[in-house]
Every structure is written in C-alpha cells, then in structure tokens.
Structure 1
Amino acid sequence: MEKTVDTVRSSFNSIRTGRSNPAMLDKIEVEYYGAPTNLKSIAQISTPDASSLLVKPYDKSALKAIEKAIVNSDLGMTPNNDGEVIRLAIPQLTSERRKELSKIVAKQAEEGKVALRNVRRDAIKSYEKLEKEKKLSEDNVKDLSSDLQKVTDEYMKKIDSLYKQKEKELLTV
C-alpha cells in the first residue's frame, strides 16, 4: 500500500504547476548510446529560480539526445541548448490548462485508490483461503479484515491529502 501511495506521489510530481521542480523531468527517458535511460541518471537537474530548470549532463555528447527527449515529452517546454547546459523556461499555466491538469490529478488519485482497494481485496481473498484450509478461524479472518480496512482507510486519507495539496498547488495562480 505504501508503494501505491509513492506511485501516486511521483505521478503528481511529474505534473507541472507554475513553479519549477526537478521532479517534473523524472519520467523523461533519453535515448543514450542506443538504450533508453532515465534523464536524472545522466544529468544533474537544478532550479536556478522559480520559473526555470537547468539540465547539466555529465556527458556533453548527450545534449542533443536530452534536448530531443524533452521536446518529445508532453511537458510543453522548449529547451534552450547553449552547448554546456539546457535551460528550460517554465511557462505560466492558463486557467484552462490548470483545470485540465486538475482533472488529470483527480484521475490519478482515483487510480491510486482503486489500486489500494485491489490490494485489500487480494489480502481478504488470501485470508478466506487460509480459513478454508483451516489455518485461520472465522474470528481471526474478521479481525484481520477489520484491521486491514483501517489500514486501507489510512492510506486512502494519505492519497486524498496528496490530491488536495496538488490541486491547491495547481489552482493557485
């Protein structure tokens, strides 16, 4: 369940708000020496100010490939390559784009909740299987199921708070 919350958190981080955040580039894959490689493993990503990102590759020969990967991503940013580093200016979000991103965040939060429910369902099935095999009593299954429900509710609240935080971040101009 913790893994599900981490997945939701990382997918939220990849959605850009009005401010720059190195995590925005986490999902970018660069074709590096013929193999898809994660951008953060071949370059240093920093935020010189609130509205720009600086990508400094460890190997200067990767500049073109990094630039191409950023252009092909759906982030809507135009890279500025000066031969040493790539600068990315973060454009301000329009109100329409903010609402669109808010819907995407809501969808991702719901997918996270569905994943949590699936984990809960699978655990309950395994409890029932153990009960049929006489390894657990009916009371134990009920106790475990109610404990599991409490844990599931806790993780649902975590996802809700992440969602509310990201939505607030998106809708704040």
Structure 2
Amino acid sequence: MKLAEAESTMQKTVEATQRAFNTIRTGRASASLLDKIAVEYYGSPTPLKSLANITTPDASTILIQPYERSSLNIIEKAISLSDLGLTPSNDGSVIRLNIPPLTSDRRKEFVKTAAKYAEEGRVSIRNIRRDALDSIRKQEKSAEISEDEARDQQDKLQKLTNKYTTRVDELLAEKEKDITTV
C-alpha cells in the first residue's frame, strides 16, 4: 500500500464519518436525516431519496413528496419503522415530518452516538495505517527500499494518520456543538 493510496483511503473514511454525522438529528430539520431509510419498493430496498422529493420548508418540518402517489403508504411505513423516532403525517399527497425540539437527555444520547461514529472513523484510520506499515515493512524486508526510506515513509504515514484523526475530532466537535446548541 503506497502512501498516496493510504491517504486516499483515510480521506474516504473521514467523508464516511461526516455522512454518518449527518444522519444524527440536531433539533433542526435536515433532509440528510432520511439518508439511511430504505423503502421496500417492488420487493427490493430502495433509498427514500430516489422515490421522493425531500425538502425542508422550515427549521422544524421535513416535507416528502413521492414521485408516485402509490408509494406514499410504503414510505410512511418505512419512516414509522425506522429508528428516527419521528411520526409521519400523511395528507394524501405529501408526508410531513415535524421535528420536535430535543430534550437534554436526547441531546446527550445523540452526542454519544456521534462519539461512537467518530471512534469508528478513528479505528478505521488506524487500521489503514497498520496495513500501510505492514506493506512498508515487507518492502524493507525484501530490500525493495532501504531502512532510511522505510523510516521516512513511516514518519510520513504517522503524520497522515495524525492529520486525519484530527479532522475526525474536529468534525465531532462541530457535530457536538450543533447537537448541544438549543
């Protein structure tokens, strides 16, 4: 595994962690809250955003307008069964989700969830570092690179690891601030 490859994989891990953070409620309506919801559509799980137009007309409402009216009930059912804790309101043509203000206990729960996602991201970055280190050591053992080059690459790899774990920590701090701000 080359350093550029390791860096690219670490960047993708940070982006995945950011997407995971986007699925956590902050007390404001956001279409990204519905990113994880899959609707059983014609026998296969389909992402909600490919079945409906999702908008946020105000800070406390998400409006879901299905492209086909026939899918209204299955979308409503999928949202009800999800772990969002939101009750959909179906008026026959659109589904409204009212986002209630978060209680302090719920905010603490969401901060813990965000911390869990951040830790998963950091572990993933460390695993990428471990794989790259193994690759560097193998190259050194087979005399493809010198001991000095190996040490230099290991230092660069550690700097990359520090950079991306710091980025995950920054994203976590941002998300915690969003969640705890009333």
Q: Which TM bucket (shorter chain)? A: over 0.9
Query: What is the CA deviation profile of residues 145-169 of structure 1, one whole-angstrom value per residue up to 9, with x for unaligned ones?
Result: 1111111111111101100000011
- 1:113 is aligned, of 122, 138, 154, to 122
One-letter amino acid of the structure 1 residue matched with residue 143 of structure 2? K
**Structure-to-structure mapping, 1:27-46, within 5 angstroms:** 27-46=36-55
| Deviation of the 1:60 alpha carbon | 1.3
Aligned to 1:8: 17
Question: Residue type matched to 2:150 in 1?
Answer: V
- Whose relative contact order is higher, 1 or 2, with alpha carbons under 8 Å and at least 6 apart? 2
Q: Does 1:104 align with 2:110?
A: no
Task: Report the RMSD for the aligned CA atoms in angstroms.
Answer: 0.8
Which aligned runs of 4 or more in structure 1 are off by greater than 3 angstroms?
none
- Work out which of the residue numbers 126, 149, 152 in structure 2 matches 1:143: 152
Q: Does 1:60 align with 2:69?
A: yes
- Alignment equivalent of 2:137, drawn from 111, 128, 134: 128
Letter of the structure 2 residue corresponding to residue 50 of structure 1? A
**One-letter code aligned to 1:23:** S
Query: Percent of aligned pairs with the same residue?
Result: 57
Structure 1: runs of 5+ lacking an equivalent:
none
Cα distance in 2 for residues equivalent to 1:55 and 1:142: 54
Alignment pair present for 1:26 and 2:35: yes
Residue 73 of structure 1 is matched in structure 2 by 82
Q: Write the distance in 1 (CA, Å) between the matches of 2:115 and 2:34.
A: 21
How far 1:17 moved relative to its partner? 0.9
Number of aligned pairs?
173
Q: Matched residues in 2 for 1:68 and 1:138: separation? A: 60
**What TM-score do you get using the length of structure 2 for normalisation?**
0.93
Partner amino acid, structure 2, of 1:49? D
- Structure 2 residue corresponding to 1:51, chosen from 51, 55, 60: 60
- Structure 2 unaligned regions, length at least 5: 1-9
Deviation at 1:53, TM superposition (A): 0.2
**1:10-43 deviations in whole A, cap 9, x for unaligned?**
1110010110010000000000011000111111
TM-score for the superposition, normalised by structure 1? 0.98
SS of 1:74 mapped into structure 2: coil
Return the offset for 1:134: 1.3
* CA–CA distance in structure 2, aligned partners of residues 126 and 55 of structure 1: 48
Q: What do the CA deviations read for 1:55-90 (whole angstroms, capped 9, x no partner)?
A: 111111111111011001111111011111111000
- Residue 7 of structure 2 corresponds to none
Q: Distance in 2 between matches of 1:59 and 1:123?
A: 48
Following the alignment from structure 2 to structure 1, what is the Cα–Cα distance between the partners of residues 32 and 19? Answer: 8
